[in-house]
Chains A and B, each alone.
Chain A
């Protein structure tokens, strides 16, 4: 049996993650400091590692999965039984879904800019320099944008946790086993099946899980920071207004 070289990640795939990056990094400007760190961790330690390294490791997972039998179909069935959905696909889905809430924030910012542009135009200031200024102005995270931002953070945390749980349910334990025993039809008896590159896969699984955990912590930290900042602003500015009035103001302002 010859050792097959790892499959090269095709350039088409890299280009698509690159265009995804272009979309998501637009949100970067309106994030807090912790949000920017989160985006960097996401792109460098998760997406880049996935595309450049992990894809090659899992590239030949099906062809490298060998069962100790000549029975046609036994290989396929045993592989499907032990790997219902590949790690790589789970991580790709996780990364796509976890980055989606950032688009909510981007849409809200675009909507606010649209409203500002209209107000400018209607007040007679159609100077192109003013309209350009709206585009480049950094949005303050106040009012309804604060709520959109916090909700998007909560969604991110929930999605990450859901995917970690799914991962745990399908593959309990982070270690990739070298040998699995399989007796699904049409395997004639309990056959030994060997997984390709188990140690390398274990290393990358641990890496990606750790990166997930770090991202969850960053998101929780950002929620705490935003809530804390809003509370302290309330205590400083509106001295005698009640909590109820503050919540009402936050809910009504758009």
Chain B
């Protein structure tokens, strides 16, 4: 399994994720893919050879192994890792589609006109794509955990299983190789899955609440502007400036002093006075 190409593909997703998304990506790489390739794959390495049945009947070991392990843990986890990271590619494809539209628009209307301010910003359709990809990821994780639980009876792996499937002559004892080690790694991988589900849910809540806050702010500002324009309705000189002032979303608002002071170490040459002046209205036309 060529995990290196997979990792290379996935690191491109990093650019369009939120902070939670980046943490999720690190958890997937370090705690799941790394542990899978470096340790877990070795433990399950030759599990069919290690499956010993107390009989000389040819075919009994094969049949019993197939009965108790319809699909190996390792293969399930590989599938889970691949499916869980695919929805992130939806976001990358959407951004690529936006870039393509922008290019066609620029070719048609000249280089200075822009369709999108920033194709990677999660506004409009891209926000929905990102949210849907999060839901799909969470759904896939839960589905795989359920399948694992269903097939392996709550991740229980005994040392000895009793098998009576034909052609075994009677109820034979079959012994599983490395059961304790396999149990430890099962719990580890399931735990990592659970952590990823929690991260996805947090990211969904964060995205939705940020959007709600943005909409609430916009509504608030519109209400305030309507109130102000009614109050100053007799004062001519200011009328134009207020009507023509563009409604800025929270992101595009000029920075407040508080956000500027946030970092204790400031990059050299940054003047704070510019920050304060930027938040006052521009009355230079008077």
Q: Which positions in A face B, CB cutoff 8 Å?
A: 12-13, 15-17, 19-20, 23, 62, 71-73, 75-77, 79-80, 83-86, 88-89, 92-93, 96, 100, 103, 107, 111-112, 115-116, 119-120, 122-125, 134, 140, 142-144, 185-186, 253-254
Contact = CB atoms under 8 A, between A and B. Distances in A.
For the complex of A and B, the 3 pairs showing the least CB-CB separation, nearest first, are: A253-B264, A73-B175, A84-B180
B22 A62 contact: no
Contact of B159 (A16, A77, A123, A253): A77
A84 B50 CA distance: 15
B173 A254 contact: no
Which secondary structure dominates where chain B touches chain A? Answer: helix
A13 B180 contact: no
Given A103-B26, A253-B264, A254-B262, A72 B38 contact: no
A144 B181 contact: no
Contact of A72 (B29, B175, B264, B274): B175
B43 to A, nearest CB: 7
B267 A120 contact: yes
Contacts of A134: 267
Contacts of B220: none
B271 to A, nearest CB: 7
Nearest to B19: A111
Given A120-B267, A140-B265, A254-B264, A19 B54 contact: no
A20 B54 CA distance: 43
A74 B109 CA distance: 78
Interface in B68-98: none
Contact of B37 (A16, A85, A88, A112): A16
Which secondary structure dominates where chain A touches chain B? Answer: helix
A13 B38 CA distance: 6
B21 interface: no
Interface of B: 1, 3-4, 7, 19, 22-23, 26, 29-31, 33-35, 37-39, 42-43, 50, 52-55, 159-160, 173-181, 184-185, 188, 254-255, 260, 262-267, 269-271, 274-275, 278
Contact of B34 (A80, A96, A112): A96
Nearest to A59: B42
A115 B173 CA distance: 63
Given A79-B177, A96-B31, 8 more contacts: A12-B3, A16-B4, A71-B54, A76-B175, A89-B42, A89-B181, A96-B35, A107-B26
Contacts, number: 130
Given A72-B175, A73-B54, A254-B264, A96 B275 contact: no
A144 to B, nearest CB: 7
B34 A16 contact: yes
A142 B264 contact: yes
12 contacts: A12-B1, A16-B34, A23-B30, A62-B50, A73-B175, A76-B177, A80-B159, A88-B42, A103-B26, A107-B22, A112-B263, A134-B267
B173 A186 contact: yes
B3 A20 contact: no
A115 B261 CA distance: 11
Contact of A119 (B19, B43, B260): B260
B225 to A, nearest CB: 23
B270 to A, nearest CB: 5
A19 B160 contact: no
Contact of B177 (A20, A62, A85): A62
Nearest to B56: A72
A63 to B, nearest CB: 9
